[in-house]
Structure 1
């Protein structure tokens, strides 16, 4: 008898061993992709609510109670416009783009009231605004601020550069507002002016502690 020949039972054992090995490889790859996707993704409205319950996201307002149900959408949360703004002064003096440059030196603070309920920005004019709500995100999350389509369609840009909410930050969000239309636009405090999308990070970030940790105008 040829010793190299395998019996039927041996072949059966070999077949099941190979099949089991392939199954384990398949499950390992599937688990890897599943883990990868679970670590980095956009949070749905349902997941945002869970994160708020766990203390991973915080949306607060010093002046009134926040109605989260009216703000949380399909995969984002709306933020409302505050009553404080900064408009650029009419000055032709060049602004030096350096680390030490302070935007407050070239802007004037404007606070709206009942007598002046809105801020009007001229065509192709920009200003700084701030949200009523303060946003907190934990070290394993970050946020991206986006404008709302209904306002973008009339030429309102909510930010033209810094839309990144750093991990570990807790602050109101400053908005870099620009009127891209040919019409004056009037901004009203309390309007749902922008939305935030939250994303999970791969690993944990270091709490942000930079120049604008405590956002203010």
Structure 2
């Protein structure tokens, strides 16, 4: 069974959706640790309640980004994970760190990439006047929020939406999409072909998910 390490910086709502999927038997994997760069991350307590080993690598204790990333990699490698999952991990990672886990580190971003990378995605979407917004699961590469796209889920932008309302609608889809995309990975159904994701599956679309990346034939 594949081993997963989850990285968080805050409440860990996507982490909880992954742990729920594992507990329900929907996601055939083992979450071997939850690590954070913040001692006060609420998600750590939630993971402890579920019996998941947790750890903190405080970025403030390191003089450089490289030093922090080295300590983080050391903490991750103790658990020999098959997959590193970023779930609201609010750190920009160095190229060396990203390349260390190339092809086995994924992230979820609250926009339909390549639209609206970076922070404040819902504010960006509203300012741009788009009628469709959503979230993206992608492999992590040295270029921030630009890795090969694994799957996306879309939501409508409704007249009168503010950031909070739009964020809540997207978050519902994040909690559906992320465990599903991780399941594809742990079942060895994902592959990268010329920098693009291919999903080997007779039926790619699951209920509640929109526009996952699937073979054209």
TM-score (norm 2): 0.27
Which of structures 1 and 2 has the larger relative contact order (alpha carbons within 8 angstroms, sep 6+)?
1
TM-score (norm 1): 0.27
Larger radius of gyration: 1
Instruction: Compare the two structures and name the one with the higher strand fraction.
Output: 1
Instruction: Compare the two structures and name the one with the higher helix fraction.
Output: 2
